[in-house]
Amino acid sequence: MGDSVYMRHALYALHFLVENVYVPIGMGDIYTTTDADTLTSGLFQKIVGKDLTYYLALVDLREGLRAIAKGFAGDEYEDDKSFIFDASGELINRINGEYVITEAKDGIDLTMEPQLFLEEDEAREQIKFREILHIPISIGASNAEMLFVTV
């Protein structure tokens, strides 16, 4: 990740998760790929800049998105899909919004597009990408991934 163009954003996002998701968080081995089969269902938000456009995504590996939503919101509506999408959406908006503001202070102009919840097939069809940076995270007993997807 040290050479990644996403390093600042990734570090910011991981720090934000640790500070704002109130369950233990761990991180697995980071890797990059060009394999579309590694795109899974989750929440995607496009970040557009002058020199780089990419998505930050939180993707669900079984119960990961639910665990993120529950940990962030501090609530127990585990079986309510709208709660999961709303809480996860608020989390990704906060991560990206605060990051965009931080970068603006350094003169870097970034914008955020509305987030999308995409099922696996939709993600693979709709997102034309060059490379995917995978950051596996564990949230309590569940797993998810944070993705940086270059378009």
Q: Which domains does the chain have, with CATH numbers?
A: 7-13+23-150 (3.40.1550.10)
Tokens 């720090």 identify what position?
15
pLDDT value at position 1?
44
The pLDDT score that the predictor gives to residue 4 is 59
- Whole-angstrom distance, CA of residue 126 vs CA of residue 145: 19
26-48 burial code (b ≥16 CB/10 A, e <16) = eeeeeeeeeeeebbbbbbbbbbe
Kindly give the confidence (pLDDT) of every residue in the chain, 151 residues in length, as a single tens digit, with 9 standing for 90 and above.
445 567 888 888 888 888 877 777 889 999 999 999 999 888 899 999 988 899 999 887 446 566 666 666 666 655 667 777 777 788 889 899 999 999 999 898 999 999 998 988 999 999 999 999 999 988 777 778 889 999 8
Contacts of 107 (CB under 8 A, 6+ apart): none
